[in-house]
Structure formats: structure tokens, C-alpha cells
Amino acid sequence: MINKAIAALVLGFLIVSVLLSLFGLIDIRVEDVLSYAIIILGISLVYPAFKTEKKLMVFVGSGIFLTGIAMLVFSSFELIAQEKIIIPLLMIIFGISLFMVYLSDSSRKLFLIISVITAIIGVVIIYIQNPSGILKLFQSVIPVLGAIWPIFLILIVIAILIRRSD
């Protein structure tokens, strides 16, 4: 299921990150390293799946990527009542992952409809539980996205490696 090159890339990232941290060259927490590894794994699964139109892998890879983002947000920011956000956040992740499946095959409008409904329900539940919580959630996600720009650099390397193997 997981390509050996992808597994090697994620494992290599984990090893290099841990070694750099142990030698004091970077200051990164274990939670952050795992979050970044999950993000890389998700991207690595989605990219080739889009190319081959494997809907299940697009869905799974997108879910893994977004879970990594959520883990990074939870480990980087103090969010009030994190346990109340988990179920709606899973609904949002599910909705966005289905939207990615729709983007890979836009002829299936059902994926679009279900994705929008599920994501909106997740956002509404967060809003109902804590009206200011939705604003805090978005305020904490935006800096994380700005901080993970190295992931996009790694994505370029992955794209080059995948194209070379073709």
C-alpha cells in the first residue's frame, strides 16, 4: 500500500530530525516531528494518487495530511476545550478529504455535496459549542500553515522523485 520510497522518506525525515535535535542543531519537540512526518506521509500519498486517480488513496492521504496539521495545531497552541473540538474536527477533516476526492474526479458531484455538508456541520458544531472557539481555531491554524513551508519544499523533492521513477 505505501510505496517503499515514501516510507523511506518519512523514516529518513524522522531519523534526521531526531538526530539534529539530539545534537542541539534544531530545537523541536517530538510531537512536532511526528506531526511533520504525518503531514509528509499524507502529501506523499495524495500526490501519486491524484496522478493515478485512486480515490481511496486520495481520501486517506488527505485525511492523514489534515490529521498532521491538527496535531501540529494542538501541540503548538493552547486551545480551550480541545476534547470538544475533536468530533467536529474529524467531520471537517472528513469533509475536506471528500472534497479532495471530488477534485480528483469532478464527475462525481455526490462527493462535493457530502463534503460541503459534513464540513459545514463540523464548523457549526464548533461554533455552537463556543462561538469564539471557531475564530481561535482559525487564528491558530494560519500561523501553523506559515510555519510548515519546509514541508512544501519536501513536497517538491517527492514530486521530482516520483516523476523520475515513472
Q: C-alpha grid cell for residue 44?
A: 506523499
d(CA 118, CA 94): 7
pLDDT at site 94 = 95
CB atoms within 10 A of CB 35: 24
Number of domains in the chain: 1
Q: Which of 60, 151, 152 is nearest to 100 (CA)?
A: 60
Q: How far apart are CA 113 and CA 85, in angstroms?
A: 23
Query: What confidence score (pLDDT) does residue 1 get?
Result: 46
Question: Over 70: is that where the pLDDT of 78 sits?
Answer: no
pTM: 0.72
Instruction: Please give the residue range of the domain that contains residue 59.
Output: 4-165
Percent of the chain with pLDDT over 90: 14
Distant-in-sequence, close-in-space partners of 28: CB < 8 Å, separation ≥ 6:
17, 20, 21
pLDDT band at 113 (very low <50, low <70, confident <90, very high): very high
